Amino acid sequence: MLESIALDSLCKIGAVSSAQVLMKYIDREEVANGGLIEINVNYVQPVISGKGFSAAAYEPDTSGIHPVIITDERPFSGFRAEPAEDDPPNWNALMPEAWRALGEPASIELVLCWDQIKDVEIESVDYSGGITGKRVREERTVTLREAATGKVVAQGLILGNEPAILQTFIYDEDEDFIYYGRVTPEILIEWLQPYVEG
């Protein structure tokens, strides 16, 4: 019990100096998918404004894994939403473990910065009874930067899955509805893979 409280406190401090201690407890969920990610996300914040920090150089022609961290402009202080929701730092726990620089913030080579998010309506159908059905696809703009320099490596527009098809008739709907095609961790991993796995 006391150990869990101590680990939780170290994770919440979010200091790079805490990483060495936390590495001894890497097998604990709150450390591997919580505290160490939080430390890394806070450590990479300068990259969002195009500044580098003390990190490993990104050499795309070198074979092997180029560790990556996902962040946005908000400081990360504990989990803010469900991992699959609009909270990119939480998505770090959904990336392949080999891609993460857990406990070693200075070994991060790449930082994925999530920028604009918008929903694009693909189709709208008006049904009897005044009910409207829509198909909407999520679009996320991302910028991949070198950790050491802040330089842009790639920019892209990541599209969500194709939403379900609207039927000609509906039988059990009593209010307007939307079928969403969201960006999933699998889609993001596919986009990142050529840069991370050299």
d(CA 23, CA 31): 8
- pLDDT for the residue numbered 196: 97
| Buried b / exposed e along 94-105 (16+ C-beta atoms within 10 A) | ebeeebbbbbbb
Contact 24, 45 (CB under 8 A): no
Whether 50 and 68 have beta carbons less than 8 Å apart is answered as no
Strands 68-71 and 110-126 turn out to be parallel
Q: What is the pLDDT of residue 79?
A: 53
Axis-axis angle for helices 2-13, 36-43 (nearest 10): 10
Q: pLDDT for 88-109, tens place per residue?
A: 667 888 889 899 877 677 889 9
Q: Which two tokens stand for residue 93?
A: 């726990």
Per residue in 35-44, pLDDT (tens digit) is 667 777 777 8
pTM of the model: 0.79
Identify which has the larger pLDDT, 176 or 25: 176
Q: Please provide the average confidence, as pLDDT, over all residues in the chain.
A: 83
Please compute, for residue 116, the number of CA atoms within 13 A of its CA located in the half-sphere on the CB side.
7
Pairing of strands 110-126, 132-146: antiparallel
pLDDT confidence of residue 64: 93
